[in-house]
Amino acid sequence: MISVIIDKETDNKIIESEKRIIIREKNDINHLKNSFRIKIGEKIRAVDGEFEYIIQVLEIEKKEIICEIIEKNEDKFSTRTIIHSAIGMLKNDKMNLTIQKLTEIGVGKIIPYFSKRCIIKLSEKKDKWDLISKEALKQCQGVRFLEIPEPVNLEKLELTSYDLIIVPYEATEEYSLKNIITKLESKPKKILYIIGPEGGFESSEIAYLEKQGAKIVTLGKRILRAETASIIVGGILINEFE
């Protein structure tokens, strides 16, 4: 089903007292009218980051599409366990791919960070990242928006709020991700997994993370690209704790 996003960044609005959703975002209107050739009476889907709405088209105007709210549903697409990912800053196309795919599989937050071997240096996050995430959310039929805060240094990651912190590292062979999950005494409520930058972690950074309670794991004998590791680990965790 076709989806539209409703948030403070768009011109789309919910008028719950009238059971209406007004679509005024230019890109959405062009997409619905020209690509999908939407007609009066057809149903589409809207999400506001918390709820899913099934809406029916009532009027199609030049600058707005007026829809009636048929259903308002709780979010049934997100995992109960909160899963976040901290990603060492990657080059443009790789970061874009990571954001797109982690949105699709259901990661709730991506925290970009700088470490000693990061190649990319930015003073602030890119607006394009939010756009990529929202487009991916429409495609995957998710409800909850992916949060992307401003980049921080590795040492500034807020680790104390997580029940489980996982760090894949190519120089360890002692524990696999499966071993860590199997040995958990209780189901964690909030998980963070930290993926190193393209240049990898320095041993001092691993020592720091281990001291903070992180579980250092191996993903096997092959050395994976950062974007590949981020998708694999996220997929395993979401499948395990959905």
Q: Residue type for 122, please? A: L
Asked if 239 and 105 count as a contact pair (C-beta separation under 8 A), the reply is: no
Q: What is the pLDDT of residues 5-56, one digit of tens each?
A: 999 888 999 998 999 999 999 999 999 999 999 999 999 999 999 999 999 9
Residue 231 has pLDDT above 90, yes or no: yes
Establish whether domains 3-74 and 82-241 are of one fold.
no
Residue 20, pLDDT score: 97
pTM of the shown model: 0.90
Percent of all residues in the chain with a pLDDT value above 70, rounded to a whole number: 100
Residue type, 83: I
The two three-digit tokens of residue 197, written as one number = 């930058």
pLDDT of residue 5: 95
pLDDT tens for each residue of 177-207: 999 999 898 999 999 999 999 888 999 999 9
- Strand boundaries in 156-197, DSSP class E: 164-168, 190-195
Name the average pLDDT for the chain: 93
The answer regarding whether domain 3-74 maps to CATH 2.40.240.20 reads yes
Query: What's the average model confidence in pLDDT over 63-78?
Result: 94
What is residue 117's predicted lDDT score, i.e. its pLDDT? 85
Q: Where are the domains of the chain?
A: 3-74, 82-241
Q: What average pLDDT does this structure show over 112-141?
A: 88
The burial class, CB within 10 Å (0-12 / 13-18 / 19+), for 8 is exposed
The pLDDT assigned to 221 comes to 84
Q: How far apart are CA 16 and CA 53, in angstroms?
A: 11
Q: Report the alpha-carbon distance of residue 83 to residue 192 in Å, rounded.
A: 6
User: pLDDT tens digits, residue range 91-125?
Assistant: 889 999 999 999 999 999 999 999 988 877 776 78
Cβ(98)–Cβ(90) under 8 Å?
A: yes
- pLDDT score of 174 more than 90: no
Least confident of 8-17, 56-65, 126-135, 171-180: 171-180
Q: Which CATH number fits domain 82-241: 3.90.1660.10, 3.40.1280.10, 2.60.260.20, 3.80.10.10?
A: 3.40.1280.10
H or E stretch at 167 = strand 164-168
Whether 223 has a pLDDT exceeding 90, the answer reads no
- In angstroms, rounded to a whole number, what is the distance separating the alpha carbons of residues 209 and 225? 20
Residue 171 has pLDDT above 80, yes or no: no
Give strand pairing partners of 94. none
